[in-house]
């Protein structure tokens, strides 16, 4: 599976780290030097709304967490950021240079720090789900069981038979039954995803796809459905998706430095185009952990969060592994020592991973540049299983 309407030339990992060794003159951001001078993993104070603390004060073994950097270096993991929050406080962050393919900026070696935005790729889908929940909370949408065609009367002549039965919830759970395949090479003409960026009217393209199975029976990974949800939000709010996201979600979370990129056809890339600072992405995780609340404000209803993170389908093969899928959120479990720990996640191509571990009051966000690599999920899961969970020192 591929994302985002563009595929750039990739460097081998050996070449990447050779470049890293000679990159002493590469431009760095304001906080890079400060970050290196701090104790291992100490969060920077940048006035973004996060309360910061030491790992030990939040019941974590800081020494164990300090082993993350050595492990990532030894395994050439090309991870760019590791951010950890516990008990509602930011307790650990580390950033690493590496190869990346940031949207619109060109591939190559990049430096990262606390104020660097990173492509979220399909983590964007989980954010769209939160925005749909907010729209329902505000009664802009009656419910997730509303039929899709209700919002697209201008496409009634092009919709394929069977679309009358497809609801927002079917798009959210990727169970619409529409014929869709993005698990192909990017240049394969049968890959549906590139059409989202190349078609003059991508919504017409999606709505004209045939319905191959009854809704709510088959799970198929589908970014086209998420782009429809993004356009529905625009239609019901009277705002562009990024304007609605700013007002309804990002401003309440104190997220001010972000981008939601557009395809070449000038349509916003709802399913894959969000760029956030990793510590701001961790706020999204904390919001879910807090059942929709942030800083004593209910941003999205607890009911919507519960519906979103309830497993509805088994999802095999995407991002590597056996998981379950809710409403644009993934669910899984990790075996760490003798403990089986359940988690909720938002996942994006290249190793973008937002893990939420309710039983441990824990949020872990990682970003990386493993596009097209079968290892893209391994590094984040290894950090979670072999470092973060074993670092918990309380019940």
Q: Can you give the pLDDT of all 395 residues of the chain as single tens digits?
A: 444 433 333 333 333 333 333 332 333 343 443 444 347 999 999 999 999 999 999 999 999 999 999 999 998 899 999 999 999 999 999 999 999 999 988 899 999 999 999 999 999 999 999 999 999 999 999 999 999 999 999 999 998 899 999 999 999 999 999 999 998 999 999 999 999 999 999 999 999 999 999 999 999 999 999 999 999 999 999 999 999 999 999 999 999 999 999 999 999 999 999 999 999 999 999 999 999 999 999 999 999 999 999 999 999 755 667 799 999 999 999 998 888 999 999 999 999 999 999 999 999 999 999 997 777 778 999 999 999 999 999 86
What pLDDT sits at residue 262?
97
Question: Among all chains, which residue has been given the structure tokens 């516990």?
Answer: 86
CA distance from start to end of the chain: 38
255: phi then psi, degrees, rounded to nearest 5? -100, 110
Q: Which helix (H) or strand (E) holds 364?
A: strand 362-368
Q: In what order do the strands lie in the sheet with 339-348?
A: 89-95, 79-86, 362-368, 352-357, 339-348, 330-336, 322-325, 313-316
What pLDDT sits at residue 338?
84
Topology of the domain comprising 126-241? Beta-lactamase (3.40.710)
| Residue 140: partners with Cβ closer than 8 Å, 6 or more residues away | 236, 237
Strand 362-368 versus strand 98-100 pairing type: unpaired
Residue 121: strand, helix, or coil: coil
What pLDDT sits at residue 160?
87
Q: Decide if domain 13-120+277-391 falls under CATH 3.30.70.
A: no
What pLDDT sits at residue 320?
61
Residue 262: strand, helix, or coil: strand
The Cα–Cα gap between 257 and 278 comes to: 11
CA distances from 354 to 118, 201, 242, 298 (A): 13, 32, 21, 21
What pLDDT sits at residue 5?
39
Of 313, 271, 309, 311, nearest to 175 by C-alpha is: 313
What pLDDT sits at residue 318?
58
CATH 3.40.710.10 range(s) for the chain read 126-241
Q: Which helix (H) or strand (E) holds 356?
A: strand 352-357
């Amino acid at each position: 599976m591929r994302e985002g309407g563009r595929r750039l030339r990739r460097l081998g990992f050996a070449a990447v780290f050779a470049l890293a060794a000679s990159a002493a003159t590469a431009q760095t951001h304001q906080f890079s030097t400060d970050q290196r001078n701090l104790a291992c993993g100490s969060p920077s104070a940048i006035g973004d709304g996060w309360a910061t603390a030491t790992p030990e004060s939040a019941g974590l073994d800081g020494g164990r967490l300090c082993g993350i950097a050595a492990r990532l270096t030894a395994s050439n993991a090309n991870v760019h950021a590791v951010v950890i929050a516990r008990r509602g406080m930011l307790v650990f962050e580390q950033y690493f240079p590496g190869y990346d393919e940031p949207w619109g900026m060109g591939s190559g070696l990049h430096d990262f720090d606390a104020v660097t935005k990173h492509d979220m790729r399909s983590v964007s889908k989980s954010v769209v789900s939160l925005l749909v929940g907010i729209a329902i909370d505000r009664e802009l949408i009656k419910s997730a069981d509303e039929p899709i065609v209700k919002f697209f009367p201008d496409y009634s002549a092009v919709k394929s038979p069977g679309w009358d039965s497809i609801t927002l919830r079917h798009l959210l759970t990727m169970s619409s039954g529409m014929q869709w395949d993005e698990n192909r090479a990017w240049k394969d003409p049968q890959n549906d995803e590139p059409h989202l960026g190349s078609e003059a009217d991508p919504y017409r393209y999606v709505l004209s796809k045939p319905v191959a199975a009854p809704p709510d029976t088959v799970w198929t990974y589908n970014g086209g459905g998420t782009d429809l949800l993004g356009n529905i939000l625009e239609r019901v709010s009277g705002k562009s998706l990024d304007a609605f996201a700013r007002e309804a979600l990002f401003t309440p979370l104190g997220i001010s430095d972000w981008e939601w990129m557009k395809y070449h056809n000038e349509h916003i890339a709802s399913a894959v185009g969000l760029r956030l600072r990793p510590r701001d992405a961790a706020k999204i995780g904390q919001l879910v952990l807090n059942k929709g609340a942030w800083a004593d404000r209910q941003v999205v209803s607890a009911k919507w969060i519960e519906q979103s993170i309830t497993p509805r389908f088994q999802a095999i093969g995407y991002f590597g592994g056996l998981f379950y899928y809710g409403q644009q959120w993934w669910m899984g479990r990790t075996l760490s020592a003798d403990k089986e720990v359940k988690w909720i996640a938002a996942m994006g191509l290249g190793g973008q991973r937002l893990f939420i571990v309710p039983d441990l009051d824990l949020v872990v966000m990682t970003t990386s540049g493993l596009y097209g690599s079968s290892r893209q999920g391994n590094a984040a899961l290894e950090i979670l299983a072999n470092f973060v969970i074993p670092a918990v020192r309380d019940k």
